Structure 1
């Protein structure tokens, strides 16, 4: 029996199950077979087309009304929007264009201009018809993959000069099923090659891939009406902005658990990303953040409980992946992920994380002191690291006078640093994803007399201004604020205010650009998270989309094309409203060029900066690869080059620290695993970005001695009108 015959036999019950759906679902697939296979005796599952419910139709009508009349973006449901929903929905269901053919697209295209009017009135069937067809095509592809594995990995040819496109999101749709067969054979070969290069034998590879495809096939056959509805609604809500989304009743439950911070797990925020579950950010102080290997934009392939085999979760619903990762504290979960830096989805790594609660004290601000020698003079610079903007609301509401919060903790740390006689202060907000808005407002107040801190504009163009009403100032000395691409929301409000007031310099990389505010509104069926307002700086510019641009830039390993508001589809744009009166404490224009010049000189001569740039260039080159070879010899050569570069960079970093180099990549990987497993290990040496922040501070003190007393009443009066 050929692959085509076998796959046809396995599909027979599926074809029968299609009767009575829509004509577009009755597309026959003809598969060509390069080699023979034996039939299995396993009775296949069948797919039952899903249908919308009355509750879903009512929820759809409520969502459409909320979007049109309460969202920050004023937009109606037009014919053009209908086509955009159609494209977004297909992208959500088949983002890599590996399931549908051009003939499928042509058949579905009849619905392109009908979705908008239908979504206004709760007519969900067109969206469900599309979902049902895609599910059937997914099942057909997975069955083909399993049949290919049954024929034997040894039948696959790795001697030709074939290549495979890494990202197919903008590729042409396959013209027919034969082209899809060729594509999927390449995908399987790519997966086999990646595992062979990792040292696995063909039997282990076949078992791993079979488990993966069988898991996806089982999930596809078990698709529910709620899966189709949530996917369709999120394609719809995403037309307004990427942070507006529909939560099914089950997803709502998980969202509420996360918001109450009562979840025991790994401390990571996850979201659906086509077939994958993607890491959005890590919770500061959480198990994953402390373990150190999981990174934003990593995609989860499988989840394994302690002592059990991994469960492949590609194609799973987000809530089911969350359930699998969640578990009792002190238990271990192992995630297999495609790293954000990987050249393609076949390059994975396993990360074991000890589940635990995210403790407030482990998110707390902390301090350090660095000493810098300049021309015979020593400068002492305090460093305060703020992982998140937090507040113990329960203790606050209970009237506890010693409740913890970012502002209260930082005030205390500043007092301790002042007692130590520091000459300047560096505030480290890198990787701080935000948190309590009032804490950002209060924290700004520690560094200014009184005044506005942020403006909030709603969909009716009404502007609310948050202010610091407390005239006391906790710190009146020179200030540097460190940011990176993962600094978001409340972090951007603080950094933007410090920059607008001329209160300090922002150093690092452009921030995330999350300048919108969402509210969760209940529906008859699930919840709607909707964007209702937007943040603006006191100077009038929004933090949305553009974020905060640093005064002095430091390169980052983070890929800005994949992480950040401006990397998201249909993100609300940057705009500007009127500025509000605010004091300008210092004009840096007289020294900023010299500060940048000194920084660049250090950058050019610092081995740590050169090493960082080498690593950035290496990662960028990896990400820019459009194709990968399916030739074993070429792939092996390429893999050797990658491993040599990784080892060279790691050993160069060890040499800077006076440590013995690794003799092999295996030794490096073992060391990284040991470091990650030892959650109590600490690195006493402050990272070089913090030290560069200290050097910039020392430059400021050298260039302008007035900075040592920047906030005297006389200077405030003299510089109040400085532009």
Structure 2
């Protein structure tokens, strides 16, 4: 984050007079349409106020300089409906037709703080949800023939909306059969399966009954802000607190970020340094279907609210939690894997860069290469501002590691591993770059007024002047892209991996209580107190309005090229373990485009282009003979095939056969790799230990750096870049 930019923008925001908001606050809200047969959820005055103010902030201070109109209203409606019912299991075609009346009016409604339309849509969804869960519950005890060659379409996102209740009845009956055959294939008895599924649907009913207007408002605002751009987000008070706790990077649990996808809890990210990361038992995309405390009984959590699931997974440090997971890439019918983790205190500020030393052979020559893994661009700003001379930061930690690698380990080269590093402190990205280049610009920042600030490394000298490589992947984002881009632009090292994420925007966190006129807060407090008095609930003194993370600026490389959308392209390219068409800024419809500004005044360290040609050639020659590379390509190909599948067989024998074949294939591939390394083969049921796991991408990256050591002799580089003495 550019803190000077943030302070300047916040000052401008605080100077705005919210006269229109005062007038709007006095206006009578539009009557809320009622949905019969369900307890309707309605918005409150605070949410109406916040909606108006967010519209004003976005229209006046978002980097896109965008005004809400009918076109944006249409996009918001589509995103909102898709968020509520992504697989088209609840709404009927007639519901969707009814919602069309709001297609071109949400922009005006939001500007006036009128939330009646999206809340009405949610109440329709709530009614449909309860209807279909009730119907599904009646089908659990039905008689099913698992020998029939039927299929169930579990992903109906691109299919038409069901025309009638009868059509959806058929879909839900198939869903029940699908869930029962999944449980049956997993190895439990029929009576237990019926009981499990009954509890699952009862849990769904219980969880939906706990939905409140804050939940609905958050969904509405997500659809609104993400239509503007992917990284402008509003957080209601509860979520704002959680967000800030996450930013504080301190909690007790397993060290994973979780999200719900089609009512199944999924690992969105494994946090570096936590129990899940160190165990290597969990990966992004894995789905958690049940949780047990220590040696206790498992609880089926499919369909639970995410905060309820998280509360089961989190817990005091030192305690154990067991999880049933379906690994990423496996069908939900696959037999769950049971893992056990010991919870720890995850203090994100204390996550440190770490080093290892690898010895490789390159053309018969041994080389020692230091690998520095940087999980995030962290800094303890509180300690730094307090004058603590030993405060934690990425740059300080890496500098110490480099000193050890140079003076004690006597390495020939260093590799910086930024895979899955989603970024962090801009200051740290600049300072870390400064360890490898002398003084000079690192990144440029352009604000909404098109003013460009050049952020420079102002510290003389370098910590490492030898051969250098940087590893990135599709999850390397933001500050990681600034660092990798600068290293590439200066010719200071070789970038290895895949195209990075492409997040080149700057967000500032704004407390909504700080931008609203105090007189409006007093009016809202009086209204809330009056309602609370009638209801007999607690008096509220100052309404909490949450916060907005607003996109207010954009990053550019020293060459003038934006990191936005395109990210950083590696010099040595590997196949991506992550689907490039599903993960990345360029997959976001509302993402800002790539563009360029004027080049900054920088001098490259060296011209590595002639060397890169040889490095690419040698890399490709190795890959043509590599069993690991061949299997990696096969895995990616298999994953792409599965992504195109939207249905699954309901025939028990076929489903079991498919699962067993997949497990046998996986075991055979592991054993083929183990044999190539001289390791004993595994039997069915054996687990691959942490020590036996292979990191082919790292191994090949080290070989590339071995080539770099041999190719980049001092004479060649001095000739290519006579102004440099760094490399």
Q: What TM bracket, shorter-length normalisation?
A: 0.7 to 0.9
Hey, what's the Cα distance between the residues in 2 that align with 1:521 and 1:446? Answer: 33
SS of 2:329's equivalent in the other structure is: coil
Aligned to 1:148: 139
Aligned to 2:428: 439
Hey, what's the Cα distance between the residues in 1 that align with 2:119 and 2:470? Answer: 50
Moved more, 375-384 or 165-174: 375-384
Go from structure 1 to structure 2 and tell me whether the alpha carbon gap of 1:121 and 1:336 turns closer, same or farther (over 3 Å shift).
farther
Moved more, 111-120 or 162-171: 162-171
Aligned to 2:486: 497
Aligned to 2:702: 694
Moved more, 318-327 or 518-527: 318-327
Aligned to 2:412: 423
Residues 1:475 and 2:464 aligned together: yes
Residues 1:383 and 2:371 aligned together: yes
Q: CA deviation at 1:21?
A: 7.1
Residues 1:69 and 2:60 aligned together: yes
Structure 1 counterpart of 2:610, from 562, 569, 590: 590
Residues 1:269 and 2:257 aligned together: yes
Aligned to 1:84: 75
Aligned to 1:643: 663
Aligned to 2:244: 256
Structure 2 counterpart of 1:451, from 422, 436, 440: 440
Structure 2 counterpart of 1:131, from 106, 111, 122: 122
Go from structure 1 to structure 2 and tell me whether the alpha carbon gap of 1:707 and 1:694 turns closer, same or farther (over 3 Å shift).
farther
SS of 2:414's equivalent in the other structure is: strand
Residues 1:552 and 2:569 aligned together: no
Hey, what's the Cα distance between the residues in 1 that align with 2:677 and 2:164? Answer: 57
Residues 1:203 and 2:203 aligned together: no
Aligned to 2:47: 56
Q: CA deviation at 1:580?
A: 0.8
Aligned to 1:112: 103
Hey, what's the Cα distance between the residues in 2 that align with 1:462 and 1:212? Answer: 55
Hey, what's the Cα distance between the residues in 1 that align with 2:433 and 2:243? Answer: 30
Structure 2 counterpart of 1:282, from 270, 273, 283: 270
Moved more, 470-479 or 635-644: 635-644
Q: CA deviation at 1:598?
A: 0.8
Deviation >6 Å, runs of 4+:
none
Aligned to 2:500: 511
Hey, what's the Cα distance between the residues in 2 that align with 1:281 and 1:660? Answer: 32
Q: 1:687-719 deviations in whole A, cap 9, x for unaligned?
A: 3322322211222233342279x5x7x975447
The alignment's TM-score, normalised by the length of structure 1, stands at 0.86
Q: CA deviation at 1:169?
A: 1.5
Aligned to 2:711: 703
RMSD (Å) for aligned C-alpha atoms: 2.6
Conserved 8 A contact 1:615-1:649:
no
Moved more, 244-253 or 465-474: 244-253
Go from structure 1 to structure 2 and tell me whether the alpha carbon gap of 1:115 and 1:626 turns closer, same or farther (over 3 Å shift).
same
Structure 2 counterpart of 1:328, from 304, 309, 316: 316
Conserved 8 A contact 1:514-1:545:
yes
The alignment's TM-score, normalised by the length of structure 2, stands at 0.86
SS of 1:661's equivalent in the other structure is: coil
Provide structure 2 residue ranges, at least 5 long, that are not aligned to the other structure: 1-30, 514-544
Hey, what's the Cα distance between the residues in 1 that align with 2:588 and 2:282? Answer: 21
SS of 2:358's equivalent in the other structure is: strand
Go from structure 1 to structure 2 and tell me whether the alpha carbon gap of 1:95 and 1:351 turns closer, same or farther (over 3 Å shift).
farther
Conserved 8 A contact 1:297-1:563:
no
Moved more, 281-290 or 170-179: 281-290
Hey, what's the Cα distance between the residues in 2 that align with 1:63 and 1:406? Answer: 34
Conserved 8 A contact 1:48-1:221:
no
Provide structure 1 residue ranges, at least 5 long, that are not aligned to the other structure: 1-19, 27-45, 676-680
Residues 1:614 and 2:643 aligned together: no
Aligned to 1:624: 644
Hey, what's the Cα distance between the residues in 2 that align with 1:568 and 1:336? Answer: 32
